[in-house]
Amino acid sequence: MASKRSLPEEDFSCPVCHDIFKDPVIMKCSHSMCNVCLQQFWKTKGHKECPICRKRFTNSNPQLNLALKNLCESYIQERSQRASAESEVLCSLHSEKLKLFCLEDKQPVCLVCRDSRAHKNHNFSPVVEVSRDYKEELRTQLAKLKEKMKKHKETKLTCDKTAKTH
């Protein structure tokens, strides 16, 4: 079975509006389309027929194609996640990906910036490595702050109890 990633967007596109299916319905002839597209088509035509194969139906109430609807929703969600994961911040000077971190200036830089005079003789590390280090440092500091908060709360409780008894 093919994974969702291997399926092209056309597999999730309505043959009438060519957008990704919205509330897809399935006809008795097995064609699927957006419910709104089908209703508009029928209104324009004046009779009920499939917009794809032109087969006429006398009393047709197409059913919601729930499997296709769920696939489309999953596809949209996956596409959105992929797009946000792929979007990397670009250098404002050179429109290149910020892949390095200047250790002297404490800022991300692109490969062009690294070779520029502004960063001559500076040391660099990959952004991924530096971000891991900073995340770990933040976790450590957060743990310390949580411990301090816990001690302050305990002290406050002790003070409150003392104030109530006196």
| pLDDT tens digits for range 144-166 | 999 999 999 999 999 998 988 87
- C-alpha dihedral (70, 76, 80, 83), degrees to nearest 10: 130
Neighbours of 62 (CB within 10 A): 19
The per-residue pLDDT for 1 is 40
Global pTM reads 0.48
Domains and CATH numbers, the chain: 4-86 (3.30.40.10), 100-165 (3.30.160)
Averaged pLDDT, 97-119 = 93
